[in-house]
Amino acid sequence: MADEKPVWRRSSHCDPLNCVELTFVGDSVWVRDSFDRDGQILAIRVKNWTHFLRHVRRLP
């Protein structure tokens, strides 16, 4: 299983110039730019990702 590649999911809230993809790896969520797939990846603990989503969903 160590050789399995992550399965990336694209955000449903993309526009023509901005979009992110994410995948779950262990206890982390990896986030990357959909248009720069070879660029850097932001790794966030699932607990913190959940907190972030709750906060964002409350914004107007």
DSSP annotation string for 8-46 = -EE-SS--SS--EEEEEETTEEEEEETT-TTS--EEEEH
Asked if residue 1 is part of any domain, the answer here is: no
Q: Give the number of domains in the chain.
A: 1
Residue 15: give the domain boundaries: 9-58
Asked if residue 4 is part of any domain, the answer here is: no
pLDDT in tens, 3-60: 678 999 999 889 988 999 999 999 999 999 999 999 999 999 999 999 999 998 888 7
Q: Which residues pair with 24 in a beta bridge?
A: 29
- pLDDT at position 2, please? 60
- pLDDT at position 44, please? 97
**The two structure tokens encoding residue 53:** 């989503």
Asked if residue 26 is part of any domain, the answer here is: yes
Asked if residue 40 is part of any domain, the answer here is: yes
pLDDT tops 60 at residue 1? no
